[in-house]
Amino acid sequence: MFPQDQYQLLDFGDGRRLERFGEITLDRPCPAAAEMRQANPGAWQNADARFDGRDEQQGQWTYRRELPERWTIAHGRLRFELKRTEFGHLGLFAEQADNWDWIIEQCRLSASPGVQQRPRVLNLFAYTGGSTLAAAIGATEVTHVDAAKNVVAWARRNAELSGLADAPIRWIAEDAAKFVKRELKRGNRYDAVILDPPSYGHGPRGEVWRLSKHLPRLLAACGELTAGRLQFMLLTCHTPPYEPETLRDMMLEAIGGQRAVVARQLTIHSSTGRELPSGVVVRWSRSSVD
pLDDT tens by residue, 95-120: 999 999 999 999 998 876 655 678 99
pLDDT for 277 beyond 50:
yes
Q: Please give the angle made by the CA atoms of 34, 36 and 38, to the nearest 5 degrees.
A: 110
pLDDT in tens, 150-203: 999 999 999 999 999 999 999 999 999 999 999 999 999 999 999 999 887 776
pLDDT at 54: 63
**CA contacts within 13 A on the Cβ side of 44:** 17
pLDDT for 290 beyond 50:
no
Section 227-241 average pLDDT: 92
pLDDT at 289: 46
63-72, 206-215, 270-279: range with lowest mean pLDDT: 206-215
pLDDT at 113: 62
pLDDT at 256: 86
Question: What does DSSP assign to residue 270?
Answer: B
Average pLDDT, the chain: 92
More confident residue, 108 or 55: 108
pLDDT at 57: 64
First and final C-alpha spacing in the chain: 27
Q: What are phi and psi of 100, to 5 degrees?
A: -60, -40
pLDDT in tens, 14-49: 999 999 999 999 999 999 999 999 999 999 999 999
Cα separation, 98 vs 169, whole angstroms = 22
Q: Smallest Cα–Cα separation from 190: which of 132, 119, 244? A: 119
pLDDT at 253: 92
Domains of the chain by range and CATH? 7-83 (2.60.40.1180), 94-288 (3.40.50.150)
Q: Smallest Cα–Cα separation from 216: which of 253, 187, 184, 182? A: 253
Cα separation, 209 vs 148, whole angstroms = 13
Query: What whole-number percentage of the chain has pLDDT above 70?
Result: 94
How far, CA to CA in Å, does 168 sit from each of 102, 140, 263?
20, 7, 30
Rg, C-alpha atoms of the chain: 19
Q: What are phi and psi of 60, to 5 degrees?
A: -140, 140
Cα separation, 264 vs 83, whole angstroms = 30
pLDDT at 114: 59
Asked if residue 255 lies in contact with residue 282, where contact means CB atoms within 8 angstroms, the answer is no
Dihedral over Cα of 282, 110, 101, 165: its sign: negative
More confident residue, 225 or 206: 225
